[in-house]
């Protein structure tokens, strides 16, 4: 549970932390027009021995650089000037390792099973803590840092004030851990099925047809899903199709579930829209959005960060309470006679 709390608090601001750790690659000054994807890809490819472009990653903020994925790594490019800012080679990063710890203890199926049952244990711990707190309803914090009573009060106060956020984190984390077992039940109860990408046959091009550029692929995709903003373009060399992923910025739950597949000549051969998601899909997406704090944007992310961080305090204060369990005597609630009622 401590590992879940520490790694969860770090991952809550993973994009911001990653950009801070690589600020020289991440930030640009908006000036002039944005170069085309083909121009950006050509610059990156020439810089690194003519490597083919695997995909483009487009930022949704004008002051963040665009990225070109090559076989050797990810190239950061200033989309206004064409300047290559640097290359991040493939391989595990610090934040990637933190994510692996949070999801599976960096140990595959065995670690994943430990973590998902830790979520169940956390729910039981919260329920038992509420049961123990209820008779005295203590929320005051008394004593000094060296006083054992202070840790007892601190554990109780934090536990009750963060009970709901911690319960939501534990419940949604457990649901994600047991998604293979939970998803069929959700689809059955909602009488829905998982979304299936509509895909047509890839036919021979008409005589005289010309190959489209990645910029033209993006333009076609935006027509198919109006109002959505492209954030990833997969090149047909890797998969046989252009695959353009788009998101609705205002939809923090299912807004990224838009994808358009096009052949080399601009024909749409696969299409999935967020608006086509079933009730079961939306419930599963809501569970994930609550767990990550994305459901209400920055306010909910801050709440999740605080709750994740406080898991450490609860674990430490609980350990001290256990070590000194025979010496800490909780203050009983006043009797009816003593209170004058």
Tell me the domains of the chain and their CATH numbers: 28-93 (3.10.450), 107-191+288-323 (no CATH), 198-277 (3.10.450)
**Under 8 Å between Cβ of 242 and 271:** no
Query: Angle formed by the axes of helices 94-104 and 108-133, to 10°?
Result: 70
pTM of the model: 0.86
In whole angstroms, what is the distance from residue 166 CA to residue 316 CA?
16
How far apart are the C-alpha atoms of 258 and 271, rounded to whole Å? 8
CB 123 within 8 A of CB 171: yes
Walk along the chain (341 residues) and give the pLDDT tens digit of each residue.
Answer: 999 999 999 999 999 999 999 999 999 999 999 999 999 999 999 999 999 999 999 998 999 999 999 999 999 999 999 999 999 998 889 999 999 999 999 888 999 999 999 999 999 999 999 999 999 888 888 866 666 788 888 899 999 999 999 999 999 999 999 999 999 999 999 999 998 766 666 667 667 778 999 999 999 999 999 999 999 999 998 888 999 999 999 999 999 999 999 999 999 999 999 999 999 999 999 999 999 999 999 999 999 999 999 999 999 988 888 887 655 445 555 554 443 43
For the record, the structure tokens of 232 come out as: 């990833």
Residues 6+ apart with CB under 8 A from 108: none
| Owner of token pair 């999740």 | 304
The tokens of 215 are what? 């910029």
């Amino acid at each position: 549970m401590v590992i879940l709390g520490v790694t969860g608090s770090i991952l809550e601001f993973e994009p911001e932390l990653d950009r801070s750790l690589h600020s020289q690659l991440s930030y640009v000054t908006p000036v002039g027009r944005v170069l085309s994807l083909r121009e950006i890809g050509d610059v990156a490819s020439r810089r690194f021995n003519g490597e083919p472009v695997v995909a483009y990653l487009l930022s949704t903020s004008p002051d963040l650089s665009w990225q070109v994925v090559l076989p050797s790594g990810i190239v950061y490019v200033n989309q206004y000037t064409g300047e290559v800012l640097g290359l991040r080679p493939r391989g595990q990063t610090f934040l990637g390792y933190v994510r692996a710890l949070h999801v599976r203890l960096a140990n595959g199926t065995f670690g994943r099973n430990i973590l998902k049952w830790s979520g169940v244990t956390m729910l039981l711990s919260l329920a038992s803590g509420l049961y123990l707190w209820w008779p005295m309803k203590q929320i005051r914090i008394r004593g000094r840092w060296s006083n054992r009573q202070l840790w007892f009060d601190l554990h109780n106060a934090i536990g009750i004030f963060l009970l709901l956020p911690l319960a939501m984190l534990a419940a949604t984390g457990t649901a994600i851990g047991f998604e293979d077992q939970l998803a069929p039940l959700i689809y059955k109860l909602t009488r829905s099925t998982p979304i299936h990408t509509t895909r047509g046959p890839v036919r021979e091009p008409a005589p005289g047809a010309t190959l489209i550029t990645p910029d033209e692929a993006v333009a076609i995709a935006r027509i198919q899903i109006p109002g959505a903003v492209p954030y990833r373009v997969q090149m047909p060399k890797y998969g046989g199709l252009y695959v353009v992923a788009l998101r609705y910025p205002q939809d923090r739950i299912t807004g990224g579930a838009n994808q358009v597949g096009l052949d080399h000549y601009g024909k749409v051969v696969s299409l999935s829209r967020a608006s086509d998601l079933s009730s079961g899909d939306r419930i599963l997406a809501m569970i994930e959005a609550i767990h990550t704090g994305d459901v209400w944007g920055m306010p909910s992310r801050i709440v999740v960060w605080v709750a994740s961080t406080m898991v450490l305090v609860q674990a430490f204060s609980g350990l001290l309470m256990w070590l000194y369990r025979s010496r800490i005597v909780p203050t009983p609630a006043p009797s009816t006679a003593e209170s004058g009622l």
